[in-house]
Homo-oligomer: A and B are copies of this chain.
């Protein structure tokens, strides 16, 4: 099969656009603006970054596939996209860089890198406060919630740290004997209780929204670290802020904020103001990946695979969103 592809994002590199143009007719947003009524009904494949608000999907009567440039697809308007359309995420394209960012967040938080004073204030006076935060990771237990590309890369980066690994999974995976797989409600509880570090690397879906709330935090170790490189809304913001206030040795280190009014917010309602045990970066892990060109190449490969009649990768189970 060949067909027509509408590219609505500038995250696709010029060379990847050219590769797609060799097997399909390519339309850009500029072209679409001029002749929407003739182009929209022709489009077989839609490639998107952020969902373009102006896009009139009802007119896309030939649409067969939506390819996201992002790994997470929780922000797509699922209800508006007809059920017959295949939706593909870009899972895997960001795994190495996001996993390395997770290790960086974990170690920076554990070693109090950002809170232990500026160069102007080079003093050991605050050591008693520092001792609440600073700790080593070597030999500790890591629990990985969502054991996909990011979770596996996180584990492999930490090979030199002599850690014990637990993974919360939906389907048992047998290829890796260095990790203990846990399933179901009991499995999750067991992981939360045993882990010194917990990585959230699971998609945001109906099931996972708010999955880390008061009850989960309360069974964790008092000085655990949660590292979130997935989505803020997997964690209940209010419960987390309260928990951090009560437990000064508990750390939340996150590259992702909460989604409020279509914006990503690091400190909703000022809940986290002044909390030294909250370390955050403004969703920058993806930036590292984009510079590799991999997200663009992965997405283009998948579209070309689909256009040539093969089964695309990363098909999203729409019922979960």
A residues adjacent to B (C-beta < 8 A): 96-97, 100-101, 103-105, 107-108, 110-114, 116-124, 127, 130-131, 134-138, 156-161, 257, 264-267, 270, 272-273, 278-285, 287-288, 291
Q: Within the complex, which residue of B127, B273, B283, B287 is in contact with A120, where a contact is CB–CB below 8 Å?
A: B273
In the bound complex, CA of A121 to CA of B112 (Å)? 20
In the bound complex, CA of A278 to CA of B285 (Å)? 21
| Docked-complex contact A111 and B122, CB < 8 angstroms | no
Copies in the complex: 2
In the bound complex, CA of A267 to CA of B122 (Å)? 8
| Docked-complex contact A284 and B96, CB < 8 angstroms | no
- Give 19 CB contacts A-B under 8 Å: A96-B136, A104-B110, A104-B113, A111-B288, A117-B282, A119-B267, A119-B272, A120-B267, A120-B270, A120-B273, A121-B282, A122-B265, A122-B267, A130-B284, A130-B287, A134-B284, A156-B160, A159-B160, A160-B160
In the bound complex, CA of A88 to CA of B136 (Å)? 27
Q: Within the complex, which residue of B123, B161, B279 is in contact with A282, where a contact is CB–CB below 8 Å?
A: B123
Q: Report B-chain residues with C-beta under 8 Å of the C-beta of A281.
A: 111-113, 116-117
| Docked-complex contact B120 and A288, CB < 8 angstroms | no
Q: Within the complex, which residue of B112, B120, B159, B278 is in contact with A284, where a contact is CB–CB below 8 Å?
A: B112
| Docked-complex contact B100 and A138, CB < 8 angstroms | yes
Q: Report B-chain residues with C-beta under 8 Å of the C-beta of A108.
A: 104, 107-108, 111, 113-114
In the bound complex, CA of A282 to CA of B134 (Å)? 13
The residue on B at minimum CB distance from A265 is B122
Question: Smallest CB–CB gap between A107 and chain B, Å?
Answer: 4
Question: Smallest CB–CB gap between A266 and chain B, Å?
Answer: 3
| Docked-complex contact B287 and A134, CB < 8 angstroms | yes
Question: Smallest CB–CB gap between A261 and chain B, Å?
Answer: 13
The residue on B at minimum CB distance from A256 is B122
| Docked-complex contact B160 and A288, CB < 8 angstroms | no
The residue on B at minimum CB distance from A273 is B120
Chain B CB within 10 A, most for which of A111, A120, A137: A111
Q: Report B-chain residues with C-beta under 8 Å of the C-beta of A272.
A: 119
Q: Report B-chain residues with C-beta under 8 Å of the C-beta of A257.
A: 119, 122
The residue on B at minimum CB distance from A252 is B119
Other than the given A100-B107, A127-B284, A134-B284, 14 more pairs (CB < 8 A) read: A100-B136, A100-B138, A103-B107, A114-B114, A116-B281, A120-B270, A120-B273, A121-B266, A122-B265, A122-B280, A123-B282, A130-B284, A136-B288, A156-B160
Question: Smallest CB–CB gap between A275 and chain B, Å?
Answer: 8
Q: Report B-chain residues with C-beta under 8 Å of the C-beta of A107.
A: 100, 103-104, 107-108
In the bound complex, CA of A45 to CA of B138 (Å)? 34
| Docked-complex contact B156 and A118, CB < 8 angstroms | no
In the bound complex, CA of A110 to CA of B110 (Å)? 16
The residue on B at minimum CB distance from A292 is B136
Question: Smallest CB–CB gap between A289 and chain B, Å?
Answer: 9
In the bound complex, CA of A266 to CA of B104 (Å)? 23
- For the complex of A and B, list the 9 residue pairs with the smallest distance between their C-beta atoms, beginning with the closest: A122-B266, A159-B160, A119-B266, A108-B108, A104-B107, A104-B111, A114-B114, A119-B267, A108-B113
